[in-house]
Structure formats: structure tokens, C-alpha cells
Structure 1
């Protein structure tokens, strides 16, 4: 009986909310379009953005004062270049971010974009500096007794080297005495070889310190699941579209991603928490595993009364489940970690700085910042569960969440990167999985099958197109997207359907406050209009990165590419022997799975001997197995055909797989 009453109350509350929303909602301007518009804001979008601007104190200058505080110098060149002269980061790419927001950009996101695009070297406090605005992330430089302690060396070798170069030219050249990765995401370690190399570690003993589990999680994301995540990251970060008022303006978390070489220097030490003296500086490490990243820590510098919150608390509401794809995060644990830091360090910190955005100064402001960050993750967690426990599905729960009162004054809690809507869905997934509980969802047909049936049921392509156009003209873009998506998946060659769906995605992008959502919508629109772009292949496919990955992890990545349809042999074993690393891996091959195991098997079908460098070249596609065998760099004993059968059973996934079309 109680469950029935709860359900009735939930429906009643939803009905009241729907009525209130309908009564107070402004009239949506309607327009007629003979052709789908491109690159312009419709009347509905202009009205939505104007209404959004009126709801927030966008004129507040406090963040702008903090973002520019301590400025010392900036890179004066037009671009950061690679060794071959390619542009890695265009210094001037965000110069258009001036004045009031255009109609094609959510005004709150425009404000955040202007803040995030401020670039240069900034002093945080005595002995601490940050280089901001040349990458998605921020690189922190701490003065040690003998050199620079580098915290989070950005995404690429080139941007990290440029950031260190700016610091050295401004503050005086010093060697790097330590490197710290705050967590296991690539924008915080990919530029490591821009600031250190193996000689620094081996000859000078430079420590590379990371949170416990860093190596495992960094490799899982970037090797095992790297192809899919990298493809979706193109949409999320707007990597394939221009910068401008109708294109990418910001990622919300930072300006955007650079296009350079991603490296991996494995840590010399992984720590979870505790106090450690690094080059004369006291660090109190704070475990934050399972929050923004599965391996993460924050740290406190007691001599400087400075707190680093890594990416746990920054200048935005973050992703509980990122659009590029990752393991879902625990919003409750996230909030509790911030609360523990607030309780322990809130009264002892004169400044808090993070791995993105700009610092916050003053003990009272530090406490307010941490309170807002704590509360936004707690809010999305508790309110989602409150709705779910009344019977709401994932989508229903997400639709009920509105901005909490504090988000109207605390811009750091706004959804410039994550959003309440999709973070609520992530909380639901964390507890209940990916389906609604309704059995019709549990074994649903794929979109490629249902799309044509929906189109037929709605009266055919022409009828659906008219319905979609009508929804578009009424400014009902979410419904237009659903209708037109069916049409595109039923017939991806239907040019009119693609153009109208692209126009719909564009208006959704123009309205959203999230930089990640905006880029995702606008890249999707571009792919519908122009097809998949060429180039921009994932930057992880380079020798610098692959050579740092442990051999067993590479074999596990190969196992994830095994295609049983290509294997018609009975089970057998191949021993792989690496002459330069003294490693042996036995690969157990069956018609359904391959299982790598450390050590050699007693009776292998074949044995393959090579160097690890040769193996890397095969994985990177730069080495040809027959040619390497003829040259003597690969030696095969036993049944060579079994080796060929194994290699031929591995899929070579294309990077540019379609997302917005079947």
C-alpha cells in the first residue's frame, strides 16, 4: 500500500510541476523555414539564451579578477608547434571571445569561455605558479629546494614543454626535481616527456609520483578502451570543428584539447595518502580515489597554507559519467571527499587551486568554494535517489532535477562540463544499471532495426520529415531530434533528413550551457552535413606512449580485438619471448577467446622471439611481420601458420566509425 501511495504522490507532484512549468513558461517564437538553417540562431534559440542571461548575475566580476590575478607573462608566439612545424596549439584561436555573448552561444557558457581562455603564467602564492590557457588542463609549478616540482604536465609533450619554457624564461631556469600526476586522465600526464625523460629519472633520480592504481587505470582507458573513447572525445571536445561563435567556444573544463604527441612516463612511486617531503617541500597527500578518477589524490602544502584539489573541486560541475565514456563515478563518495577536505583544511587554507581553471583566495572564499562543490555532487546524488525510490526511471528522475538555489550565485557549481541532467542519469546507472526496470527495455531491438519500423508506423518518410520540421519550427528541438534521428537511421542517404537533424543539433548546441554538450551537438551536425573528417587520428598511437605500456597490458588489448569468426583452429598455445626485456608471455588461443599468461608454456604450438621495440612496431602498424621475419628481427620456431592464424584473427578497428548515422 505504501509503495502505491508513493507512486500516486510522485505522479501528482510531477503533474503539479508540469502545470506550473506550462503556466510560467514564456511563449516560444515560431518561424517557418523552407530550408534547414545553418550557422544562425533561430528565434526560439535567441529567446532561450536571452531568458538564460536574465536568470544569472553574469555581470559579477569576481571570477574575472581571480582568473587574471598574479599574471606575469604569456607566450608571445602565434602558436605552439610540433617538431615538424605542425600547429599543436593556436595561441590566437580564442581571440573572438570579446564583448557580449552572440545569439549562437549560451551566455553563461560565453562567460566561462572568456575566463578559461585567459592564458599565461600566473603566481598562485609564494613559491607556486600555474601555466593556464594552452591546454585543456593547468600545469602547476612549485618551487623546490633544488628545482621545479611539476604538477600535471598537461596533455601533450609540446604544450608541456612550452609551459615549462615560459616559466623558465620568466622565473629563471631550474631543473625539474619531481613530477606529480594528480590522477589518471591523459590531460594530466600526456605531456610528461616535455618536462622529463628517462635520463632524468635514472641518472638524477627525479621521482614521478602518482596516486595508487594510476598505471592500471591510465592504461585501461587509453589502451583497452582507447579507440572508442578517443572517437567520442572528438565530439566531446570539438576537435574536428573550427573555433568561433557558431562552433567550439570552450570545453567548459578548459579551452580545448591540443593536437600534439601524447606520452606516458610511468610513475616511480604510487601513493594513496600521507605526508612526504619532496625536494624540501612538505606534501600532505589526500586520497580521492573513485571520485573524478578511479586513481586520484589531492594535496595540502602546510608551509604555504595552500590546498590543491586536483580535479575533484574546480570551476565547474564536473561529469559523473563523461560523454566520451568511462567508468561511472560515485557522486556520494565525491561529495564526501570534498566535505572531509573542507573539515580538515578549510580553516587552514589561504588559497585553493586545482588542475583546471583559476584559484580561489582567502579562507572564507576557500570554504565557500568547497561548500558549493560538495553540495552540488550531494544534491545530484540525493535528489536522483529520492526520485528513483518513488519509482522514477533514469530519464524521469533526470527531468525533475532543477538547479539548486546556490547554483544561481556560485558559478563553479554550474554545468559548464557536466550537467544535472546527464549526471542524474549517471547516479541512476551507478545504483541500478543501464535499464529502466521495464522488461521492454531489457532486450530492446537496436536502432538500425527499429528506425525503419517507426518511420513506417508514423506514415512514411515524408510524414516523419514534416513532423520533424514542424517540431523544429516550434522550437521543440529535443522532439525534433528524436523524430529526425529515426529518419536518418532508417535511411542514412536521405539528405533532407540529415540536414534537418543537423540543424536541430545545431540549435541544441547553441542553447546549452555545457561546453561538452555544445561541442558534441555541433560536431554531430558537422558529420551529418559533411561526412566523417579525414586525419585527426588518435594521438595515443605513437611509440612514445606504447613503449611505456607494460607488455601484458598490450596482450590484453590484443585479446580485446580477437574475432572468433576468424579463428577455425582447435586450441593451441604460442610462446612470445622478448629478448631485450627477459619477458615471456604464453598466449592460449581457442576458437572463442585468447588468454595471455605470464611465463612460457611447456608445449607450445610455436614460439616467437623478438625485441619489445619490434613488437611495438607491429602494434603501431609500422612493422610488417613477414618483412621483419625475413630480416631476422623476428624468429619463429614451430608452426608458423599458427602464428599467422593468431595475428589474422585480430580485428583492426577503424577510428572513424559512425556515431550519428548507422
Structure 2
């Protein structure tokens, strides 16, 4: 019996026990893809685009492009892709054009798809020797290590859903990543910048005069590069490429200020470039076309921001704003640059509201809401009980009202995570919603969540997926650049109050090889990081930063080092064990949907 027949029978014969229906064969929903989204995939066919005689853009190997600039004395590589494996393939293509040595790498910003492939182009030895320089904004390194160390576990899991990391071949068929091909992942590498700047840097790289400018937008450390001699602008993700920009990313990020983004787009317009080479999508040729793309993109972002603020000031809340704020036809139809392949108006509007006003919408009913499980229990009872709710959910599903079906099923799942029929209704509703989406982020979240509900995304797979994605944000190469302060600051958010509420201890850390001293103070469930070691601190660990790197990577532990002599101990070892026991460094599988 098909699932549709299952629900039909349920609606016609309400006396049939729901528990008997839970084991019937599931409905088969054939994978499909929005036609416009499938057509968009062709934008990212693998091709080396010749912009001018000395500028070439590699589109289609990684979700982000790598750009080769041929300078008099060597090559400049602008952005390095998401993995050294794919970047090596790009470099092989570049080598068909020029055999000059690489003299410089430019990181446009700290996101993994722009920095993780660096060792596909250059080695660490080349950078250490000074043969190759790496240019970036002065905050890039801090952003890299903070992202991976502070919110790495949850960011990894949410990124897995955003990019559809566990989707099968059928669900990936004809798909793209919105701003590039589907992310391929792979090994993550990193080499720290050697030359950084704050606002601007006019310099000569490998004999070529260039202008580097800070242009906060999609990332807070975004930089662009202009080549005056050829009128070429490497626009990074200030122009995010062939899509409505992602003013907010569903995987999670700090507030992306749309006003700053618009200002940066205007900065790019002031170059009056003849050519624009974005880090996503194809190059743009001709001064008029470059100006048009930049102007329309800035107007799209500005319209979303300005109208959101306008209606916020009339008292509308996020759920009301998403229905009110819509791009006018001349902007919404500007293909491909303002089509919703990657960003959407709806999730941008919510981020703008939160960025200005925070989570509170103004109704005190939200100040201390009934906890989710208790609320679900009361709502289900109010609607006549478990069977009535699922009858209504099934009815909504049959009528194609998939959002309502999913919302109703969610109440039942909140009460009982193992309710198979409720999970089935919600999963199939998500598949119907997902396959209809033109936006890759929404599609991937619907389909990944459907897998979680169906039970095909189990705890082991979740854990493995999270571990793999975690390495994207904090690879071994990045760990080597992790300052002691960042590592110890991470302990502050890892304290377990149940174990630390009765503990008042301070542990000093001495690092002779880098001449740094720090201390962590546990004060009844709260932890404070001190620069230097407070006078009178009895507990101290002395170790080299190089050994700490092995602790950070998981190869060793502080207690193991103390026992084997790699870590010198001052004070009572049992007290140190008590101190270390106050922290929770476990990473458990995270269920984002079944909760």
C-alpha cells in the first residue's frame, strides 16, 4: 500500500489504529530538482576564463574560483580553493598558460573555500624562505582560529546541512552550490599570512603595481585587489557572483552588516574597472557591464535592508516582515545576480531584524515561554490528542500543504522522538518542499533533515560528518597557528558547572619556548583567563608550545604529559586532576531536527 493510500485510508476510516499504520511501506518520492536551479549548474562548468593577457580565472573546480595574475616577475594567485587536491588540478591548468614561479598568494577572506587549498599552489617552505608572500587583512588569522576553536562543533554540523554533505547521488544530480559547483571537501591546509594591512595597501607584487582594499561585506575581513595597468578588479565576494548575496548564512555567522556591504560595493564602483573577476562565477567584461552588475547588486541589498528597517519602524516583527519585504520585479528578475540561488530575501530580512533589535519581538509572551516539550504536550492535548494531530497532519500532506503538515507533526515528535508516523509525515513533507526549492541552502536543509527524520542519518554518521567538517574549519595546519590565548579562552566556554560549582582553583601555564604565561581560574562554576600567573598560584604546568600543539590535535593530553615528564608539574597532581575534571571537551552528535 502506498503512503498516499495509507493516509487516505486513515482519513476515511478514523477507527484504524495509527500504530498499525506505522509499519506500512513508505511512499517513494522520486528525487527532482527545480528547473531553474538545474540550469544554473551550467554556469559552473569547468573552464579557465581568459580575462586579459595576464589574468585568468578557474571556474568549476572548487566552490570558489582561483585567479592567476601573471606579473613581470612571477605569478600572483588570488584565493586558493577549498582543498589542495582540487587546487593542484587548477594549478596544472594554469601551468599550461605560464611556467613562471608563484611569488604571492592573496587570501580574499578567511572562509575555508578561499584558503584551504593553499598547499596545492605553494609549500610551507617556500613561504618560510620568503620566496612566496601571502597577503591578507590583518584580522584574517584571528578569524580563522576563532571560528574553528570557539564554535567549531556546531558550525561544522550546520555546515554539513547547508551543503548537503550526506545527500546521495540522486539528490545531487544536476545540483550546484549556488555560488559554485557542489563543494567537494577534501584535505584542509593553511599557511599564515606574511603581509597584512588594515584599510588599504598600494604596493608592487612580483613587479606588478596593485591596490589592495579592505571591503567588509560577506566576511568582515574581505579584501579586493585592483590592477590599474589593465583595469582588472578582483572583487572577491563583495560581488558574491551569480546569485542574490547571502546577507545571512543559514549555517550561522556573525551579523553581516548590509550597510557596510553596500558601502563596499560603492567602493568597487569607484574603480570604474574594465573587467571584474569575482571569486564565484564567471568574469564580467566591459566597464558598463561591470558597473551594471555592481549597481544592481548594491541596489538589491540596499532595498532589502531599507525596506526591512522601514517596516521595522512601523512595528512589524520578523514573521510579518518576510511577507511584506519583497524585491520589485526589476531587481528580483535580474538574472543571475539577484536570483535566489544562494541568498533569499526571507532569511536576510530575519537577520537584519535580529542585527538591529535582537531576538525579542516586543510581545512579553516571548519573555518566558513554555518549554518546547511542555508546549507540544499541551498543544496536542488541546487539539484532541495524538491521533487527531496526525490525522490533521496527514490531511494537510494530502492537500499539498506541506509546511502545515510538518508543523503539526513536529508537535508529536517533540513529545516522542521515536513516533515513526509523525517522523514519516514530516520527512516526506520536507522532501516535497526541498525538491521544489530554487535555493540550494533551503533545499539541502530540507533534504538533510528528511534523512535525519527517516533514520538514514544515524548518530555514527552524524559524528563522522561533524568530525570531517570540523577539520575544514580547524585543520592540523590551522592548529599550528592557534595562539595559546585562543586555546585557553576556549576552556572558558567548556566549564561544566555540575563539576565545578564547588571548586576554587587556579592553574598556571608556563610556555618557556614562546616566553608566555597564562592562568585559568575556576571560581565556583565560572572560569577567568588571566594574562600572566597571579601571585600565590600553587598549581603550575610548564610545557613547550610545541607540546601543547599535540594536545590541541588530540595526540596527547596534559595529564599524560605530566606522567611522562613532557609537562613539568608544580603543586599537587590530584588538585590538577580535579581542576582538569571541571571541563567538558566531549563533542556529542547533534540532532538539528529531531529534538
Question: Is structure 2 residue 332 aligned with structure 1 residue 405?
Answer: no
Question: Is structure 2 residue 326 aligned with structure 1 residue 381?
Answer: no
Question: Is structure 2 residue 115 aligned with structure 1 residue 189?
Answer: yes
Matching residue within 566, 588, 593 for 2:521: 588
d(CA) in 2 for partners of 1:497, 1:145: 65
d(CA) in 2 for partners of 1:646, 1:321: 39
Partner of 2:414: 489
Q: Over residues 32-72 of structure 1, what are the superposed CA-to-partner deviations in whole Å (9 max), with x where a residue is unaligned?
A: 6647634327xxxxxxxxxxxxxxxxxxxxxxxxxxxxxxx
Matching residue within 220, 223, 230 for 1:297: 223
Retained in 1: the 8 A contact 2:33–2:435? Answer: yes
Offset at residue 250 of structure 1 (A): 1.9
Partner of 1:143: 70
Partner of 2:14: none
Q: Over residues 147-198 of structure 1, what are the superposed CA-to-partner deviations in whole Å (9 max), with x where a residue is unaligned?
A: 2211111222332333223322x12433321111111212211222333333
Retained in 2: the 8 A contact 1:177–1:206? Answer: yes
Q: Number of aligned residue pairs: give it.
A: 564
Matching residue within 306, 313, 317 for 1:393: 317
379-388 or 264-273: bigger deviation: 264-273
Question: SS of the residue aligned with 1:178?
Answer: strand
Offset at residue 244 of structure 1 (A): 3.3
Offset at residue 268 of structure 1 (A): 1.8
Equivalences for residues 274-313 of structure 1 within 5 A: 274-289=201-216, 291-313=217-239
Q: Over residues 270-312 of structure 1, what are the superposed CA-to-partner deviations in whole Å (9 max), with x where a residue is unaligned?
A: 22224221112222223212x2111112221111111122111
d(CA) in 1 for partners of 2:315, 2:126: 57
Matching residue within 146, 150, 175 for 1:249: 175
Instruction: Mark the CA change 1:476 to 1:403 in structure 2 (over 3 Å): closer, same or farther.
Output: farther
Partner of 2:359: 434
Matching residue within 269, 283, 299 for 2:195: 269
Offset at residue 570 of structure 1 (A): 4.2
d(CA) in 1 for partners of 2:420, 2:547: 47
d(CA) in 2 for partners of 1:616, 1:276: 35
Partner of 1:39: 29
Matching residue within 197, 215, 226 for 2:141: 215
Partner of 1:108: 36
Question: Is structure 2 residue 372 aligned with structure 1 residue 447?
Answer: yes
Q: TM-score, normalised by structure 2?
A: 0.90
d(CA) in 1 for partners of 2:337, 2:457: 36
373-382 or 174-183: bigger deviation: 174-183
Instruction: Mark the CA change 1:502 to 1:391 in structure 2 (over 3 Å): closer, same or farther.
Output: same
Cα RMSD after superposing both structures: 2.1
d(CA) in 2 for partners of 1:156, 1:129: 19
Question: SS of the residue aligned with 2:576?
Answer: helix
Question: SS of the residue aligned with 2:170?
Answer: coil
Partner of 1:468: 393
d(CA) in 2 for partners of 1:302, 1:122: 20
Retained in 2: the 8 A contact 1:492–1:661? Answer: yes
Instruction: Mark the CA change 1:213 to 1:593 in structure 2 (over 3 Å): closer, same or farther.
Output: same
Q: Over residues 100-138 of structure 1, what are the superposed CA-to-partner deviations in whole Å (9 max), with x where a residue is unaligned?
A: xxxx2112211222222x114332222111222222211
Partner of 2:283: 359
421-430 or 452-461: bigger deviation: 452-461
Partner of 1:89: none
Partner of 1:60: none
Retained in 2: the 8 A contact 1:36–1:500? Answer: no
Offset at residue 412 of structure 1 (A): 0.9
d(CA) in 1 for partners of 2:494, 2:128: 35
d(CA) in 2 for partners of 1:575, 1:403: 56
Retained in 1: the 8 A contact 2:133–2:195? Answer: yes
Instruction: Mark the CA change 1:261 to 1:328 in structure 2 (over 3 Å): closer, same or farther.
Output: same
d(CA) in 2 for partners of 1:33, 1:653: 43
d(CA) in 2 for partners of 1:312, 1:236: 21
Q: Which runs of 5+ in 1 are unaligned?
A: 1-30, 42-103
Q: TM-score, normalised by structure 1?
A: 0.81
d(CA) in 2 for partners of 1:212, 1:619: 24
Q: Over residues 3-47 of structure 1, what are the superposed CA-to-partner deviations in whole Å (9 max), with x where a residue is unaligned?
A: xxxxxxxxxxxxxxxxxxxxxxxxxxxx76647634327xxxxxx
Partner of 1:543: 476
Question: SS of the residue aligned with 2:76?
Answer: strand
Offset at residue 245 of structure 1 (A): 4.7
Offset at residue 628 of structure 1 (A): 2.8
Equivalences for residues 143-162 of structure 1 within 5 A: 143-162=70-89
Retained in 2: the 8 A contact 1:36–1:503? Answer: no
List structure 1 runs of 4+ shifted beyond 6 angstroms.
none
Retained in 2: the 8 A contact 1:575–1:586? Answer: yes
Retained in 2: the 8 A contact 1:126–1:304? Answer: no
Question: SS of the residue aligned with 1:413?
Answer: coil
Question: Is structure 2 residue 578 aligned with structure 1 residue 645?
Answer: yes
Question: SS of the residue aligned with 1:445?
Answer: coil
Partner of 1:130: 57
Instruction: Mark the CA change 1:549 to 1:625 in structure 2 (over 3 Å): closer, same or farther.
Output: closer
d(CA) in 2 for partners of 1:157, 1:591: 46
Q: Which runs of 5+ in 2 are unaligned?
A: 8-24
Matching residue within 455, 474, 491 for 1:558: 491
Offset at residue 505 of structure 1 (A): 0.8
Retained in 1: the 8 A contact 2:76–2:102? Answer: yes
Instruction: Mark the CA change 1:508 to 1:248 in structure 2 (over 3 Å): closer, same or farther.
Output: farther
Retained in 2: the 8 A contact 1:155–1:187? Answer: yes
Retained in 2: the 8 A contact 1:221–1:326? Answer: no
Offset at residue 657 of structure 1 (A): 0.8
Offset at residue 447 of structure 1 (A): 2.2
Partner of 2:457: 531
Offset at residue 552 of structure 1 (A): 0.7
Question: SS of the residue aligned with 1:345?
Answer: coil
